[in-house]
Chains A and B, each alone.
Chain A
Amino acid sequence: GENVEQHPSTLSVQEGDSAVIKCTYSDSASNYFPWYKQELGKRPQLIIDIRSNVGEKKDQRIAVTLNKTAKHFSLHITETQPEDSAVYFCAASPNTNAGKSTFGDGTTLTVKP
Chain B
Amino acid sequence: DAGVIQSPRHEVTEMGQEVTLRCKPISGHNSLFWYRQTMMRGLELLIYFNNNVPIDDSGMPEDRFSAKMPNASFSTLKIQPSEPRDSAVYFCASSKGQGNTGELFFGEGSRLTVL
Same assembly: yes
A interface with B by C-beta (< 8 Å): 31-32, 34, 36, 42-46, 49, 51, 89, 93, 95-106
Contact residues of B: prevailing secondary structure: strand
Contact B107 A97 (CB under 8 A): no
Which of B43, B91, B95, B108 is within 8 Å of A98, CB to CB?
B95
Q: Which residues of A contact B99 (CB under 8 A)?
A: 96-100
Which of A31, A44, A95 is within 8 Å of B106, CB to CB?
A44
Q: Which residues of A contact B42 (CB under 8 A)?
A: 89, 103-106
Q: Which residues of B contact A43 (CB under 8 A)?
A: 91, 106-109
A100 to B33, CA, bound (A): 10
Contact B101 A51 (CB under 8 A): yes
What class of interface size applies to chain B in its complex with A?
A: 20 to 34
A102 to B44, CA, bound (A): 8
Which of A46, A95, A103 is within 8 Å of B43, CB to CB?
A103
A34 → chain B, closest Cβ, in Å?
7
* Given contacts A43-B106, A100-B56, A89 and B101 within 8 Å (CB-CB): no
Which of B48, B100, B103 is within 8 Å of A49, CB to CB?
B103
A103 to B109, CA, bound (A): 17
Count A-B pairs with CB separation below 8 Å.
Answer: 60
Q: Which residues of A contact B48 (CB under 8 A)?
A: 99
Listed by A's residue number, 12 A-B pairs whose Cβ atoms lie within 8 Å are A31-B101, A32-B101, A32-B102, A34-B103, A43-B108, A44-B104, A44-B106, A98-B99, A99-B48, A99-B99, A102-B45, A103-B43
Contact A45 B106 (CB under 8 A): yes
A95 to B100, CA, bound (A): 7
Contact A99 B103 (CB under 8 A): no
B92 → chain A, closest Cβ, in Å?
10
Most buried by B among A32, A46, A100, A102: A100
Contact A44 B101 (CB under 8 A): no
B75 interfacial by beta-carbon distance below 8 Å: no
Contact A98 B106 (CB under 8 A): no
A89 → chain B, closest Cβ, in Å?
6
Q: Which residues of B contact A106 (CB under 8 A)?
A: 42-43
Q: Which residues of A contact B101 (CB under 8 A)?
A: 31-32, 51, 93, 95, 97-98
